[in-house]
Structure 1
């Protein structure tokens, strides 16, 4: 038997899912889809994109005893005389996961956040493995609440979570969509439900990140409440193939979650982003400098510590990482002006940022 005959036993929607999950277009008739799958992917890669139940069905059709998803894919590939490529696929996935985890670990600070994400991914991955093996699994929603001040890395971490879920096979597409109230709430009756439903459909298979989600609460007759109701339905309906993350200030998010009976219960993970301390903010500036081929003199490090401390004490809403980025960019401009006013400068001077640039 050849690979084409095996894939013919799948539904057209399964073939479209395989293609879209691997970044290819899913249009055309069934034979065209099979040709595209086989020309773009190995048989093993294609079958790995399916759920364990789909693999189980194929095994049943060809009288192969189901022995777990990976072992069964190997058996199906052997039936077609195709290389299973299981080790290569596993190595690629392992490398991708390691790369994303390293990116998370390289973020300055956020020790508590990183620990929570480790718990979330570990639990979700184990339940997915149990499901793939045909064991009972606990279907728990992966929706998350982020609380914390601006500039604490919430958007960055949300994007990393989306990529980790994709790499582990916990969502089908791995996309990341960031929206705010203005993207969801319409001006007329019925517009908000339609707009929100469209965004939810587009976000399926990945992460939908709603920043400043508390703004959806609005006033008594505000259309934002309709958006919340639409979100609640989708959070249950698509719980196995979408991750919705809502984010905002801690107190405002608590009020938001308590405004609708059942809303808070839709979220299973709560992650608090603490403010960065002054040393961590200096480290953030140094990381940005290193990435852009700049050096920070020691005196400037000390001056930055004082600067961050003064800014923290002079405002209620501390900007955290955003303040660090703004200061870094401001220093680049001041250095450029300083150097342009000198008669000559060497390569070392082009790289060095000093207290004169703060």
Structure 2
């Protein structure tokens, strides 16, 4: 019989670590059920011996084994005697061997040879006799009993056909409360996943009740009656190594590297029985090291040295908040372990291990997830600490395989980390398949709470919504375990891209270093919600290397020259373009005809913004204001809007200062669901510049008109993109006032610029400037005739109650004069046409129209 194990329950037994009182079945599964176990006393035992110890420690007096070829056998005399038929004589007691005390490296512990396993087996029995005996043991409430079935798959498959129904009925009775006291039947399966066991039992067809029972156990979230015996962990492998060293002379190459060596062994998913054979073979032949394991093909899974984790974290650019969180998290977990080792927190909830990562793409979430796996492994919380990445497509199937896909991904991540990026897409699935995946995931997290860590990642707001959809989710991802990954700052982005270029073997000329500083600052200022941070820097470095290679055409023996600003990709060159100085922009404004009140207001506004920028020590805290342009058509609103964009760019308040001109038709859709996307598209087009909405009051529709939806969406986006967007709403003064009053949002606080109608002298100058810009000449009488035509047109428009279009009318008149010029010139002889092709005469000015 066996001697008592020091730790009794092996560390690698996770889940249900002992029979659950009142539950007649205890399922043990996994690769460990066929393995051997190294105990703290440095002896190696079979799974049956260890299981006997666990059950004995749990208080079971009678422990009976029943295998396919051995109907009933025992590993201790007490169990055999309690099962013996009445009147059978007791066997003579065995004499214990005497032992001499000694002192050595393990104190007074004495390392003896492994005790032989000699289970007592009675004569073979038929299935009928076997079942009758096992049923009698299970229903006997007088003796606390456990029936253990090793290799349950073979046992269930080979029950005699005529005994299958009685056997199924017997299991049904036990499950329905027919077992006596807390008697338990322990079934050992080699399958790593409980779902596979359910499918196997279902395939036997004659065990529907057992199938239902196992399926219920698979979904239970508390009071687990299912244990998993996995591969050996570091502590057990340490016992195996030391036992082999003391018993067989195994030598360790470097004792300081032993912890890392054990960590490597534990990561390989190799059973103890295989390690035992290898270590015995190496004893006396080679010193044990990671290199030797690699030579033997036993270290295929690479494991970083634990000391590298924190060094690599320290070497990462930026991420101050991330480093602080992981350091604090480490101290919390280490403190919990220390208290538990002293027995001081027996009633405390285990430290939460599941984490939430929020932040934009490229901020290091996946890299840190791998570090968390290594950290948990080094703390003994996970055996392997590997990371399995999963997207929604890896978990959800439209073909009814969602549960299988999710379970399969969990199985791949067991003893490590399951990293789910954009996890909120599961709850956003319109077909509800994501909800099914969430339910399976929660069940698996409960069933494998000792073997699985889940990290969910994505944008902060959407992660909040995701956790709020299911109480189980919010409970497993506490707010204290949320780690926010901020965007990299411009200096950090600059350092990242230069580091990428160095790692690619390139040196950077000074002009490239300066250019990249400008590019990274611009990328940061103009970043959108999905800015890719370090990923963008990696892509930029790769494109620079491509440009450098194309420019230098380096050969094997050629000289390696530095990368220069010339190698910056074309689509990044726009960030390097210099903006016009403010004085030049204002001088351009001064050259416009008329608009004196507008010019004065623009200069005052520019001065105020420049002052605020100086007061705030930079442009980042000062936002360019939204504007209202009030005036009739053709009074220069679009032209001034473009100059305002340039002025804001010159002040550093907008990056590009470009202008996107829109009307109601560009923002409002014809059907439900079209308006918001159209409005968002125009706003994104105008980001870092100006969105000019002409005749903005046309958005104020009536009834079910979608214009109000466009206004609401626009106001939201103006707040979201504050500092990156200027909206200029333009139109007639009276109608604009009414529009602004009806939409008390951001526009109600906008700066107002009034564009007065041009006077006749100003219109005359606009005409002359327009003709000169086209490269034409005209007779001295032409401008006067143009003024008379414009004066008459303005009077007629006023009489009809219509708005005079100012400079737009002048432009239309010039177009009419061009047509009259063309007709006149083509009537001339060919020799005279060229001389007259760009010269206007009085006849080219049409007569004023009268009604």
Task: Identify the TM-score tier after normalising by the shorter chain.
Answer: 0.7 to 0.9
Q: Deviations over 1:51-104 (max 9, x none)?
A: xx99xx8xxxxxxxxxxxxxxxx7499532856988754587899322111111
Name whichever of 239-248 and 269-278 sits farther off: 239-248
**Counterparts of 1:312 and 1:357, CA distance in 2:** 21
1:179 corresponds, among 390, 394, 398, to 390
Closer/same/farther in 2, CA of residues 194 and 294 from structure 1, 3 Å limit: same
Closer/same/farther in 2, CA of residues 298 and 220 from structure 1, 3 Å limit: same
Specify the SS of the correspondent of 2:457. Answer: strand
Name whichever of 85-94 and 275-284 sits farther off: 85-94
Whether contact under 8 Å (2:361, 2:533) holds in the other structure is: yes
**Counterparts of 1:152 and 1:77, CA distance in 2:** 54
**Counterparts of 2:452 and 2:34, CA distance in 1:** 28
Aligned to 1:270: 482
Specify the SS of the correspondent of 1:239. Answer: coil
Closer/same/farther in 2, CA of residues 300 and 6 from structure 1, 3 Å limit: farther
Closer/same/farther in 2, CA of residues 104 and 306 from structure 1, 3 Å limit: same
Q: Deviations over 1:23-49 (max 9, x none)?
A: xx958954xx46xx79xxxx69xxxxx
1:288 corresponds, among 491, 500, 503, to 500
Cα RMSD of the aligned pairs, angstroms, is: 3.9
Q: TM-score, normalised by structure 1?
A: 0.74
The 5-angstrom pairing of residues 124-139 of structure 1 reads 124-136=333-345, 138-139=349-350
2:111 corresponds, among 80, 83, 87, to 80
Closer/same/farther in 2, CA of residues 76 and 192 from structure 1, 3 Å limit: farther
Structure 2 residue 441 is matched with structure 1 residue 231: yes
Whether contact under 8 Å (1:93, 1:167) holds in the other structure is: no
Structure 2 residue 375 is matched with structure 1 residue 164: yes
The 5-angstrom pairing of residues 100-179 of structure 1 reads 100-136=309-345, 138-179=349-390
**Counterparts of 1:315 and 1:99, CA distance in 2:** 33
Aligned to 2:564: 354
2:540 corresponds, among 327, 343, 348, to 327
Q: How many residues align?
A: 312
**Counterparts of 1:15 and 1:143, CA distance in 2:** 20
Please state how far the C-alpha of 1:328 moved relative to its aligned partner.
0.3
2:553 corresponds, among 336, 340, 343, to 340
**Counterparts of 1:232 and 1:29, CA distance in 2:** 29
Please state how far the C-alpha of 1:129 moved relative to its aligned partner.
3.5
Closer/same/farther in 2, CA of residues 152 and 15 from structure 1, 3 Å limit: closer
2:531 corresponds, among 318, 321, 324, to 318
The structure in which a higher percent of residues are helix is 1
**Counterparts of 1:77 and 1:331, CA distance in 2:** 68
Closer/same/farther in 2, CA of residues 252 and 279 from structure 1, 3 Å limit: same
**Counterparts of 1:267 and 1:273, CA distance in 2:** 17
Please state how far the C-alpha of 1:135 moved relative to its aligned partner.
4.1
Please state how far the C-alpha of 1:259 moved relative to its aligned partner.
1.6
Q: Deviations over 1:88-132 (max 9, x none)?
A: 545878993221111111111110011111122221222233334
**Counterparts of 2:408 and 2:482, CA distance in 1:** 26
Q: Deviations over 1:249-303 (max 9, x none)?
A: 1121111111223322211300000000111011112222232322222321221
Aligned to 2:409: 199
Closer/same/farther in 2, CA of residues 76 and 9 from structure 1, 3 Å limit: farther
Please state how far the C-alpha of 1:314 moved relative to its aligned partner.
3.6
Closer/same/farther in 2, CA of residues 201 and 131 from structure 1, 3 Å limit: farther
Aligned to 2:90: none
Specify the SS of the correspondent of 2:305. Answer: helix
Closer/same/farther in 2, CA of residues 143 and 277 from structure 1, 3 Å limit: same
Aligned to 2:399: 188
RCO (CA 8 Å, sep 6+): is it higher in 1 or 2?
Answer: 1
Q: Deviations over 1:214-258 (max 9, x none)?
A: 111124542001111222233333333221000011121111111
**Counterparts of 2:439 and 2:13, CA distance in 1:** 31
Structure 2 residue 420 is matched with structure 1 residue 210: yes
**Counterparts of 2:508 and 2:361, CA distance in 1:** 25
Name whichever of 237-246 and 176-185 sits farther off: 237-246
Q: TM-score, normalised by structure 2?
A: 0.33
Please state how far the C-alpha of 1:319 moved relative to its aligned partner.
1.5
Structure 1 unmatched runs, 5+? 18-24, 45-52, 58-73
**Counterparts of 1:271 and 1:340, CA distance in 2:** 45
Closer/same/farther in 2, CA of residues 9 and 332 from structure 1, 3 Å limit: same
Specify the SS of the correspondent of 1:140. Answer: coil
Please state how far the C-alpha of 1:329 moved relative to its aligned partner.
0.2
Specify the SS of the correspondent of 2:380. Answer: coil
Whether contact under 8 Å (2:426, 2:434) holds in the other structure is: yes
**Counterparts of 1:28 and 1:240, CA distance in 2:** 18
Specify the SS of the correspondent of 1:295. Answer: coil
Aligned to 1:306: 518
The 5-angstrom pairing of residues 54-65 of structure 1 reads none
Whether contact under 8 Å (2:336, 2:351) holds in the other structure is: no
Whether contact under 8 Å (1:15, 1:26) holds in the other structure is: no
**Counterparts of 1:192 and 1:238, CA distance in 2:** 19
**Counterparts of 2:521 and 2:388, CA distance in 1:** 34
Structure 2 unmatched runs, 5+? 15-29, 44-52, 58-104, 113-242, 247-251, 264-303, 569-851
Aligned to 1:65: none
Whether contact under 8 Å (1:203, 1:242) holds in the other structure is: yes
Larger Rg computed on CA atoms? 2
Q: Deviations over 1:2-36 (max 9, x none)?
A: xxx9999978x87899xxxxxxx958954xx46xx
Aligned to 1:68: none
Closer/same/farther in 2, CA of residues 356 and 175 from structure 1, 3 Å limit: same
Whether contact under 8 Å (1:162, 1:206) holds in the other structure is: yes
Aligned to 2:144: none
**Counterparts of 2:260 and 2:318, CA distance in 1:** 29
Closer/same/farther in 2, CA of residues 188 and 357 from structure 1, 3 Å limit: same
Please state how far the C-alpha of 1:346 moved relative to its aligned partner.
1.2
**Counterparts of 1:225 and 1:15, CA distance in 2:** 32
